[in-house]
Amino acid sequence: MSTALSWGPLELHRNPPAALCEAAEGGVATSAATRHSLRLLVAADVGRYGLMIAHTFRRAVTDGAPLPVVAELLDDAVTRVSMSNVCATLVDVGPHGFEVLHRGGPSPVVVHPDGTLTRVVPSMPGPPLGPRASISGGTSGEIIPAGIGDVLLVTTPGSVESAMHALAAAPTPAVADLWTSLHDLGPAEAGSAYALLTP
């Protein structure tokens, strides 16, 4: 059974925000809507537990859990199945822009309408999802203001290189061109995933 999760080529929960997700086998890229925002999980190397991790994420979002609590619930889920750790990035996109919670995943990139890029570098990155003695609970993510036409690219470690090639190959920084370019290249390897988010 494949654990690649993309839940279709386009996850449009309201117009805007929107998420476009792609995952190779063993990776997760999925989104879920709240009343006021859209949340995203991109995770690498989840093996056969992709469906469980995606379900845990979606259930926590549906229950209204704040982003740090969603991460704690994912920590518990990864620990229960005895996985050592999972590199992940969680994002909440709403009227405020992008809130990015780093849990071992690479720094996402904001692609602006003029083609410039801004890396979302955490002031204090969290550990990968999974077992640990303790983490500082309640830590919120980095808040990145977003304007009209901004697109957030979220990747796993194995898809960074191919995603950067796709960004360079896209004819424009518009979300449709970026998605086409990314989708044509596909995730770099098994266990990889990526997603585009628009505010």
Predicted local confidence at residue 4, as pLDDT: 43
Closest CA to 108 of 150, 170, 66: 150
Whether pLDDT at 82 is above 70: yes
d(CA 98, CA 157): 20
d(CA 22, CA 52): 17
Radius of gyration of the chain (CA): 15
Q: Using 50, 70 and 90 to split pLDDT, how confident is the model at 185?
A: confident
**Where in the chain are the domains?**
11-198
Tens-digit pLDDT profile for residues 106-145: 999 999 999 999 999 988 888 999 986 445 555 678 899 9
Residues 6+ apart with CB under 8 A from 34: 61, 64, 92
Predicted local confidence at residue 94, as pLDDT: 84
Architecture of domain 11-198: 4-Layer Sandwich (3.60)
Predicted local confidence at residue 187, as pLDDT: 67
The model carries a pTM of 0.88
Whether pLDDT at 76 is above 90: yes
Predicted local confidence at residue 12, as pLDDT: 40
- Give the DSSP H or E segment for 12: strand 11-12
Burial of residue 65 (CB within 10 Å: 0-12, 13-18, 19+) is middle
Proportion of the chain above pLDDT 90, given as a percent? 68
Q: Rounded mean pLDDT of the chain?
A: 87
Predicted local confidence at residue 141, as pLDDT: 83
In this structure, what DSSP letter does residue 8 have? S
Burial of residue 110 (CB within 10 Å: 0-12, 13-18, 19+) is buried
Tens-digit pLDDT profile for residues 142-165: 899 999 999 999 999 999 999 999
Contact predicate 149/113, CB 8 Å = yes
Whether pLDDT at 6 is above 90: no
Tens-digit pLDDT profile for residues 8-64: 444 443 456 899 999 999 999 999 998 888 999 999 999 999 999 999 999 999 999
